[in-house]
Structure 1
Amino acid sequence: MLKKMRIALAIACFIVISLLFLDISGVLHKNFAFLAEFQFIPALLALNVVVLVVLAVLTLVFGRIYCSVICPTGVYQDIVSYFARRIKSKKTRRYSFSAAKTVLRIVVLAVFIVGVVAGIGIVSAILDPYGAYGRMVTELVSPVYGAVNNLFAKVLGVQHYTFAPTEIWIKSIFSLVLASLTLLIIGFLAWRSGRTYCNTFCPVGTILGYLSKFSILKLRIDKTSCTMCGRCSRDCKASCIDFKNHTIDYTRCVTCFNCIESCKDGSMTYSIKKVAKKQPLEIVGVSSENNSRRQFFITSLLMAASATGLKAQEKKRSMIKFPAVRKDRYKRSIPVSPPGSLSHDNLNDKCTACLLCVNQCPDKIIRPSVNEYGWTAVMQPTLSFERGYCRTDCTVCSDVCPTDAITKLSKGDKTKVAMGHAVYIRENCIVVKDDVNCDGCWRICPTDAITREYRDSGASYL
């Protein structure tokens, strides 16, 4: 029962988090954006005390439920290992107890802490499991999802509005290569030996692992009824059960409940207190009907701020009516960061390069950086306007960012945010160059920053 409950919750979280990256309608973020903010490292970088406290309490009560249910990279590993155990031979698909790689875990955690404190964004970007999964979905799954969406849109025709065509494009070659390597490396480790990545290279797994040593509810072995058959150890994807010595390494246990289901003697229990040597505590055994204390709640939904209406303008212009003209990519000496990022330092310190903003930008103007911010902040979002422009009524990137690297903006505030200043090159203007009348820039400017001038005759305007 416990395992089935865990699997159901894990699948639900995994699907919703994946759709947050894939959704092209923007509807899901209004109701499920909290799942992105509920990820450990984004909450840590955003100093989201509420989420950090909730995750700590969950771990101290239930163990590493976060790693089994909430973390999408953890669920991805479970999916890979599920198929691996059904494809591999009976002998090779068995797990076995292995000693903890404590030194390596501490070294990786120390590198992560130093990287965060020193503001080296690439460290948190590579080691954050949520960011790693986000890049995999954005770079590898999103194009396939978009192609299927476009196929349905084409088959159903223009009279059907369920599927709207979307543009498929490569965000960054570097990010694509890194996402592919991440998929293969984590997938290989999961195929080979289950949760090796979680219990070796993941800083979140290390932090929550040592915290879970003090959890109230733990998986325990009843020595009096255990027959030492080894089934629990063979099914433990964390390789943390030493059935010969009746011990469990709680720093590596991800509370998946595989061992409870595999134990035919009822010797594995998920209990508050240690099982007595002569008298097992039946009320906390696997057969208990009361599951209420094993369920955990998720924080209340964060509702998006209500949209503020824009005043009618004399010019009757609309941003949507002016399609963007495709241009060659311009190499800037100073990169343009998304509106709401406050500064390059704030963006570089807090961003985990999950690419959620890149994938959700409706105008496709946000792309992963390569060296724009320097090597310490690769794959962090930067604006590139060859595909379109940043609409003053759009706050998608600030709405979806889970780390506050891009702070929340209302639509009213967005109109006042200046990401840079346009440069007018007079000799290139067709009014001067070709002696024609034109007021295109005046019409499209949404903030009235451009004034219209008239010719000396006053007959027509420039």
Structure 2
Amino acid sequence: MFADDEAPERSAPLPVPEPSCVGSGCGRWSSPTGVVQLRRLSQLLFLGLFVYLFLCASQSGLRHAFLPVDLFLRADPLIALMTMLGARVGMAHMVLPSLLVVLVTLFLGRVFCGWVCPLGTVIDLFDRLFLRGKKQARAERRSDTRRYRNLKYYFLLAAFVAAAGGLQCTYVFDPLSLLTRTFTCCVLTPTQLGWNALLGLLGGSQGFRFNVDFDALRVTQFYFRQTAVVFLMVAGILALSSYQERFWCRNLCPLGGLLALFSRVSFLRHRIASGCTHCTRCELGSRMGAYENTSKKAEEPFSHQLSECVHCYRCAAVCPEGVIEVAQCGPAKRAGCLPQEPVALSRRRALGAAALGVGWLATNKVSGAPKYQSDRCIRPPGALPETEFLQACTRCGECMRVCPTNALQPALGEAGLEGWMTPVLVPKIGPCVEQCTLCGQVCPTDALRRFTVKQKREDLKLGLAVVNQNTCIAYNGGRDCIVCAEVCSYSAVLFKDIRDDALGRKKRVPTVDEKLCIGCGICEKECPVIPEHAIVVRTLRENRSYNAPKPSLWGGFTRR
């Protein structure tokens, strides 16, 4: 029952498919241990590429990056589908990268999850470094493999229902968006702290003499709101691995669920040659619990679930008899491969997931309506109109990472529940620099469109600076203060003389030219009045309309 009588005998390891299988619809791959090492190398290389592109998301790095810094996000089919469904627009620059991932999945299965996904690699590294002692305890729980497996499909269904109503919710569970946000909020800040502390130690040490200006090597220290929330999310994902290996990837990841559906028709399948002793090592060693009922005492037939398999090749590597073959099986040869069970979803739970999506949609739309937003919800330049912006923004944090003044922060309550963690400009932390256009260059979904410095000056308006006459030094007491006018990049702060009867003389007070002010916030940042600055930016006279460039189909791999 478990053996393929027509399968050829196991031969010496070959680096390529056996020539005899060419044209027959089946190519067998050998040397499983070598493939495992190749898979690990692939994981590390793609994680290194992810880190490299993340580090390149800066003013100098964008000029030297050989690939788009948001390439992983553009190649995410879940983000592409949800954004196009929610925003009702085509994302031309995301079509080819995400389509490539889908095509690879259709032919080879969930190799993206096992060989490419950087979050999966981080989970594996955490597992290897901190959870090696729990392997036996987790092996005893592999009978729970099916208990939570379908949760990812229910989450995916709820997300599709919400997206159909115009709600972007991939930021909660999408692995690439989540990992990018984690690197921005939880990795960048401590790295900068450590680097600056090291330079301070070297520069101030009396035991060393360096002919180097260490202060010039310091980097701007970034801080982000909601760092604790982001940290708890990723810490929870890692901690779940203590219960079951790759618990997140097996049971919760909606991108994994989407790719699992595509992988069911893939050509790369598992075969069992004659000689299987039913030792169950493949079932215990499977990273995703793809093997089931391998024991002789099993009441159900032996099976291997393609939708769960990430082709880690661990099963073939641990098989003592060497009878597991991972083969390229065309339709003519699939009868000899292990049987596949259908994705059995409970109708009641599917309806519950759809209801969850509707409830999630209704709750966010009511609490996140634009009329309830704060007048301090200042969006970055190039942002789409608010409704479209909320539908397109994935909260990946790329724009926050690339902002040179740390001015872009994840929203708290400024934009309501629907706008939670979307980028907002916080002038108290930093201004929007006049010559900077970086945030529009790194947004994967064009929630922030590209713009030029000229468009930023002449067409776009983030808001309007407003002077509080009750706290302004020039208004309150008649003392001279021209800080806001000195720092304004757009010459939008003007002074006029007014008569003050209490002082018995005229005083010079600041006013804001509404035509020149774009709401960059540098006046608020530099205002000496604290804790509440006397001049603040509000979303008055905001304008997001301009002639934005249209994304091209080929821009997914070339646009930087």
Instruction: Judge same fold: TM > 0.5, yes or no.
Output: yes
Alignment match, 1:70: 116
Q: Which runs of 5+ in 2 are unaligned?
A: 1-33, 85-90, 204-211, 296-300, 338-372, 499-507, 511-560
Q: CA deviation at 1:232?
A: 1.6
In structure 2, distance between residues paired with 1:59 and 1:357: 30
Give the counterpart letter for 1:254 in structure 2: V
Among 289, 310, 320, the residue aligned to 1:254? 310
Give the counterpart letter for 1:217 in structure 2: L
What SS does the corresponding residue of 2:464 show, helix, strand or coil? coil
1:9 and 2:67 matched: no
Give the counterpart letter for 1:40 in structure 2: P
In structure 1, distance between residues paired with 2:423 and 2:490: 25
Residues 59, 24 of structure 1: alpha-carbon distance in 2 compared, 3 angstrom cutoff: closer
Alignment match, 1:391: 433
What SS does the corresponding residue of 1:10 show, helix, strand or coil? helix
In structure 2, distance between residues paired with 1:225 and 1:368: 58
Residues 376, 270 of structure 1: alpha-carbon distance in 2 compared, 3 angstrom cutoff: same
Alignment match, 1:141: 187
TM-score of the aligned structures, taking structure 2 as reference length: 0.64
In structure 2, distance between residues paired with 1:277 and 1:217: 10
Q: Which moved more, 1:6-15 or 1:266-275?
A: 266-275
Residues 94, 2 of structure 1: alpha-carbon distance in 2 compared, 3 angstrom cutoff: farther
Q: Which runs of 5+ in 1 are unaligned?
A: 281-330
Alignment match, 1:31: 66
Alignment match, 1:82: 128
- Equivalent pair of 1:80/1:191 in contact (CA under 8 Å): no
1:369 and 2:419 matched: no
- Equivalent pair of 1:149/1:163 in contact (CA under 8 Å): no
Q: CA deviation at 1:349?
A: 0.8
Residues 387, 91 of structure 1: alpha-carbon distance in 2 compared, 3 angstrom cutoff: closer
In structure 2, distance between residues paired with 1:76 and 1:269: 28
1:206 and 2:257 matched: yes
Residues 200, 278 of structure 1: alpha-carbon distance in 2 compared, 3 angstrom cutoff: closer
Q: CA deviation at 1:56?
A: 0.8
Alignment match, 2:391: 349
Q: How does 1:311-350 map to 2 (within 5 A)?
A: 332-350=374-392
In structure 1, distance between residues paired with 2:164 and 2:234: 27
Alignment match, 2:80: 43
Report Cα offsets for 1:174-204 as digits up to 9, x if no partner.
Answer: x334323312321122222112222322211
Residues 425, 180 of structure 1: alpha-carbon distance in 2 compared, 3 angstrom cutoff: closer
Among 185, 188, 194, the residue aligned to 2:236? 185
Larger Rg: 2
- Equivalent pair of 2:436/2:453 in contact (CA under 8 Å): yes
- Greater percentage in strand: 2
What SS does the corresponding residue of 2:243 show, helix, strand or coil? helix
In structure 1, distance between residues paired with 2:230 and 2:411: 14
Q: How does 1:149-298 map to 2 (within 5 A)?
A: 149-157=195-203, 159-160=213-214, 163-169=217-223, 171-172=224-225, 175-218=226-269, 220-242=270-292, 243-244=294-295, 245-273=301-329
Q: CA deviation at 1:49?
A: 1.4
- Equivalent pair of 1:223/1:277 in contact (CA under 8 Å): no
In structure 2, distance between residues paired with 1:227 and 1:277: 23
**Identity rate of aligned residues, in percent?**
22
Report Cα offsets for 1:273-298 as digits up to 9, x if no partner.
Answer: 17979999xxxxxxxxxxxxxxxxxx
What SS does the corresponding residue of 2:199 show, helix, strand or coil? helix
Q: CA deviation at 1:211?
A: 0.4
Alignment match, 1:57: 103
What SS does the corresponding residue of 1:414 show, helix, strand or coil? helix
Give the counterpart letter for 1:81 in structure 2: D
